[in-house]
Amino acid sequence: MPTIEIDELRCKGCGLCTIACPKKLITLSEQINNHGYTPALFQETEIKCTGCALCAEMCPDVAIKVFK
């Protein structure tokens, strides 16, 4: 099953990946990380990740890895 991994310490909470994901599987956390940002969170529901990699391509901080 395709999935992604978000490196919370690289993430600056810009939210671009939340807009990029066509399945809306990424949100921003309400918790602040060590750098003072609210990092992106990946959460699958009954809707699954397709491995399209749009989130990773959009991320300016190269914080998302896609596994197909």
Contact 62, 10 (CB under 8 A): yes
Q: CB 66: neighbour CB atoms within 10 A?
A: 17
Q: Which of residues 20-59 bind ligand SF4 (CB under 6 A)?
A: 20-21, 23, 25-26, 40, 49-55, 58-59
Instruction: Select from 16, 29, 33, 41 the one that contacts ligand SF4 (CB under 6 A).
Output: 16
Smallest Cα–Cα separation from 18: which of 10, 29, 26?
26
35 vs 43: CA distance, rounded Å: 22
Number of amino acids touching ligand SF4 (CB under 6 A): 28
Instruction: Select from 15, 29, 33, 41 the one that contacts ligand SF4 (CB under 6 A).
Output: 15
Shortest separation between residue 12's beta carbon and ligand SF4, angstroms: 5
